[in-house]
């Protein structure tokens, strides 16, 4: 199976859709995990859903920078992250600090994994690729509960709520993942006026259409009949034909290979070197005294960068030639 992204429109209707199937790319993400640090199945499922959702969001807004999706709270899963670059290269990771309850299905709701105390949050960050001096990333944050403080138990519900609150756009998301595939279907009502996106812009003038557009409501209802099992096992052609056989669907060529979604990590030895320089010579030498070498592992891809005393000395010989790195994530 090949990782691919399908985009489509409904002819004459203010509705668009996308279907993503991360297969070999998602399997590569899982293969790169250190066997001793393998996540439990519910965490792998959550990260797969986040990867699929992140790809759909990046492809939807075509943002020239990273789209970073984060879920965080006070549960066993402290934070889960998916990052998608403009070329649809993606990576994911999580920080698990507690024990997960057992489950027969392998799936756990967010209030068990992340949002135990009810204060969990979802953050979506747009980090421009070439930031201007003083320019800050755009970030939107929403709680993991609805308007009536009812807990939102699935990632899809959280993101639908985010799009409605932040973008005034009706959105239907179906997400599912296992160890073979991470997949997602997005249906969205197109704004009648304006072309704003997650990065901000002028308020749209069609807020009165929220929840009332009959065409969108019909297609979203059809999309909602797609089961998790169907999303994980059926190919894109079969899914779209079964759901929308009565609709006039305009489909575009699928995006696949390096032009479509693929695993990619932005870590490098240079960035790790910058992080070590930020620690300072004294701290680095202290670590080397204790353990002979410094081993920095990337949480996203599993790559290890090792520095011995000679490497460390080179870091601080001509610091002006090596500007410090700015991120703690490789």
State pLDDT tens for residues 253-285: 999 887 899 998 887 888 888 888 887 778 877
- pLDDT band at residue 154 using 50, 70 and 90 as cut-offs: very high
- Residue 208 binned pLDDT confidence (cut-offs 50, 70, 90): low
Residue pointed to by tokens 């057992």: 102
pLDDT of residue 209: 62
pLDDT for 325 equals 40
Spatial contact of 199 and 63, defined as CB atoms under 8 Å apart: yes
Instruction: Say yes or no to pLDDT of 231 above 90.
Output: yes
User: Would you give the DSSP letter of residue 13?
Assistant: S
149: left (phi over 0), alpha (psi -120 to 50) or beta: left
Q: How far is CA 281 from CA 217, 238, 286, 313, in A?
A: 61, 59, 9, 8
Split at pLDDT 50, 70, 90, the class of 197 is: very low
Could you tell me the domains of the chain?
A: 4-263 (3.55.30.10), 269-321 (3.90.1280.10)
| Number of Cβ atoms within 10 Å of the Cβ of 110 | 25
72 φ/ψ sector (left φ>0, alpha ψ -120 to 50, else beta): beta
């Amino acid at each position: 199976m090949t990782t691919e992204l399908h985009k489509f429109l409904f002819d004459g209707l203010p509705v668009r859709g996308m279907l993503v199937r991360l297969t070999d790319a998602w399997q590569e993400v899982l293969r790169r995990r250190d066997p001793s640090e393998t996540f439990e199945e519910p965490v792998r499922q959550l990260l797969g859903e986040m990867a699929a959702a992140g790809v759909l969001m990046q492809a939807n807004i075509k943002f020239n920078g990273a789209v970073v999706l984060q879920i965080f709270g006070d549960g066993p899963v402290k934070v889960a992250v998916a990052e998608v670059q403009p070329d649809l290269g993606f990576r994911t990771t999580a920080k698990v600090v507690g024990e997960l309850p057992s489950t027969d299905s392998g799936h756990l709701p967010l209030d068990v994994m992340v949002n135990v105390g009810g204060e969990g949050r979802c953050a979506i960050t747009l980090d421009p690729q070439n930031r201007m001096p003083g320019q800050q990333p755009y970030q939107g944050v929403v709680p993991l509960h609805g308007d009536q403080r009812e807990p939102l138990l699935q990632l899809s519900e959280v993101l639908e709520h985010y799009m409605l609150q932040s973008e005034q756009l009706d959105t239907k998301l179906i997400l599912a993942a296992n160890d073979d595939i991470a997949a997602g279907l997005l249906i969205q009502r197109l704004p009648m006026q304006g072309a704003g996106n997650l990065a901000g812009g002028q308020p749209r003038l069609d807020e009165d259409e929220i929840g009332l557009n009959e065409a969108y409501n019909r297609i979203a209802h059809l999309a909602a009949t797609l089961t998790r099992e169907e999303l994980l096992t059926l190919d894109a052609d079969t899914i779209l034909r079964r759901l929308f056989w009565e609709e006039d669907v305009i489909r575009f060529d699928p995006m696949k290979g390096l032009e479509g979604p693929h695993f990619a990590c932005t870590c490098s030895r240079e960035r790790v070197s910058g992080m070590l320089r930020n620690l300072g010579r004294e701290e680095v030498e202290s670590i080397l005294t204790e353990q002979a070498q410094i081993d920095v592992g990337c949480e996203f891809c599993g790559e290890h960068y090792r520095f011995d005393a000679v490497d460390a000395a080179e870091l601080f010989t001509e610091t002006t030639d090596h500007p410090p790195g700015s991120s703690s994530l490789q």
